[in-house]
Amino acid sequence: MLRWMLLQAADNPTLAAFARSSSLVRGVVDRYVAGESIEDGIAAASALAAGGIDLTIDHVGEFVDSMEQAEQAAEVYRRLLEHIGDRELPAGVSVKPSQFGLLIDRDACVALIHDVAKRAAAAGVHVTLDMEDHTVTETTVRLVEEAHAAGATNVGCAVQSYLHRTPEDVRRLTRLGASIRLCKGAYAEPAHLAHQRPVEVTRAYLRDARYLLREATEPRFATHDHKLVGAIKREAAELGRDRGSYEFQMLYGVRPDMQRALVADGYRLRLYLPFGSQWYPYFTRRLAERPANLVFFARSLTAAPRPDRVEEPETASSDQAW
Ligand SMILES: Cc1cc2nc3c(=O)[nH]c(=O)nc-3n(C[C@H](O)[C@H](O)[C@H](O)COP(=O)(O)OP(=O)(O)OC[C@H]3O[C@@H](n4cnc5c(N)ncnc54)[C@H](O)[C@@H]3O)c2cc1C
């Protein structure tokens, strides 16, 4: 129920306006969002890259109201890709199709995606389409297929293990040779479309991960779930997969302890690094993922946050048995 309420709040413009004007909220947001400007994002990316971490950089924003806003968002990505190319950062970009105007003018959105993909290819990097809610799942998979048909083979997308349709999408995208980011899914979806119980979502994730480890060239596992991380490592080792042939992905600010441990153990790690001013829906989904975050959030609004409160209380080893 709490998760559902928070996910509804992610779409509330009044709450968004309040949150964006509050300096107290901003203090907590900094944990998840690397500043508002391109320079902030690039500075954070450069520091993380120096520590052996790859990135996928996201200019936060979604469901724009006009194609003018979509064009402005694409322009930020063009500049971002110039920075990535100039600095030879180990960073791709993550894009939400609705931020490029998918629900306003599909053809114009496709043109923006292909333009950004072409520039990303010139910089030698990937474009990952984030998977949004179920209203755009099929369209997003088709956008990847159309990009590949047009020669933009550096475009892939996320898939969400909570959706019942995902095993078929995973096969479809694997046959295409597209890069796939497997995640659990962050939206409130109805029971006829998505698993509702965490245990079912996790079971589905493991099933999809097993398929990808067997069939995909370079699968990307986006999770902070230590049991899943442990299971994927073991399964990959049993299949004789090289540690460099797949990667884990995590969110900026979430489980830095696990992030450090993976890199120290020689696993590939890519962080999803968001920056930009339209952080409210992204931030609210992060709160919804972990009820304890609300306590942390409330405390931060009433007291100056102390560094020792920022780390996750959970200490389970990422190698713990499944
Ligand atoms: C790189 C990346 C890209 C993603 N892209 C998409 C996408 O395109 N579409 C989409 O729908 N979803 C996306 N997600 C979000 C994803 O679907 C989940 O909502 C999110 O990752 C939480 O699931 P989990 O696998 O980490 O497992 P959980 O069981 O939710 O979490 C495991 C543990 O991780 C920690 N944790 C997880 N989330 C948080 C948090 N927000 N704050 C603090 N601690 C936390 C907690 O310790 C928790 O116990 C992405 C996630 C990642 C890591």
Helices 137-149 and 166-176 cross at an angle (nearest 10°) of: 10
Closest Cα to atom 30 of ligand 1: 289
pLDDT at 43: 97
Q: Quick one: which H or E segment has residue 288?
A: helix 280-289
Closest Cα to atom 21 of ligand 1: 223
Q: Quick one: which H or E segment has residue 9?
A: helix 2-9
Question: How much distance in Å is there from the Cα of 305 to the middle of ligand 1?
Answer: 23
User: Of the candidates 225, 216, 213, 231, which has an alpha carbon nearest to the alpha carbon of residue 251?
Assistant: 225
- Ligand 1: residue of 184, 259, 284 to mutate (most ligand atoms within 8 A of CB) is 184
Question: How much distance in Å is there from the Cα of 284 to the middle of ligand 1?
Answer: 12
Paired strand residues for 273: 57
Question: How much distance in Å is there from the Cα of 223 to the middle of ligand 1?
Answer: 6
pLDDT at 208: 98
Helices 256-264 and 226-238 cross at an angle (nearest 10°) of: 20
Measured from the CA of 272, which atom of ligand 1 is nearest?
Answer: 1
The DSSP-derived string for 16-83 is HHHHHH-HHHHHHHTTTS--SSHHHHHHHHHHHHHTT-EEEEEE---S-SSHHHHHHHHHHHHHHHHH
Q: Which residues of the chain have pLDDT under 70?
A: 1-2, 4-10, 14-24, 291, 295-322
| Spatial CB neighbours of 261, under 8 Å, sequence gap ≥ 6 | 318
Q: Does domain 33-278 have CATH number 3.20.20.220?
A: yes
**Active-site annotation, residues:** 130, 181
pLDDT at 318: 31
Question: How much distance in Å is there from the Cα of 65 to the middle of ligand 1?
Answer: 27
Q: Which pairs from 265-272 meet CB under 8 Å and 24+ separation? A: 267/233, 267/243, 268/54, 268/243, 268/244, 269/52, 269/53, 269/54, 270/53, 270/54, 270/55, 270/56, 270/92, 270/220, 271/48, 271/53, 271/54, 271/55, 271/56, 272/55, 272/56, 272/58, 272/94, 272/222
Measured from the CA of 286, which atom of ligand 1 is nearest?
Answer: 41
pLDDT at 29: 84
pLDDT at 15: 66
Full-model pTM = 0.90
Q: Give the Cα separation of 34 and 294 in Å (integer).
A: 20
- In the DSSP assignment, the letter for residue 273 is E
Closest Cα to atom 43 of ligand 1: 254
- Please compute, for residue 306, the number of CA atoms within 13 A of its CA located in the half-sphere on the CB side: 3
pLDDT at 293: 72
**Which residues contact ligand 1 via a Cβ below 6 A?**
130-131, 158, 160, 181, 183-187, 222-225, 249-251, 254-255, 272, 286, 289-290, 293, 312, 314
- Ligand 1: residue of 135, 169, 229, 254 to mutate (most ligand atoms within 8 A of CB) is 254
Measured from the CA of 292, which atom of ligand 1 is nearest?
Answer: 43
Question: How much distance in Å is there from the Cα of 184 to the middle of ligand 1?
Answer: 7
Measured from the CA of 285, which atom of ligand 1 is nearest?
Answer: 41
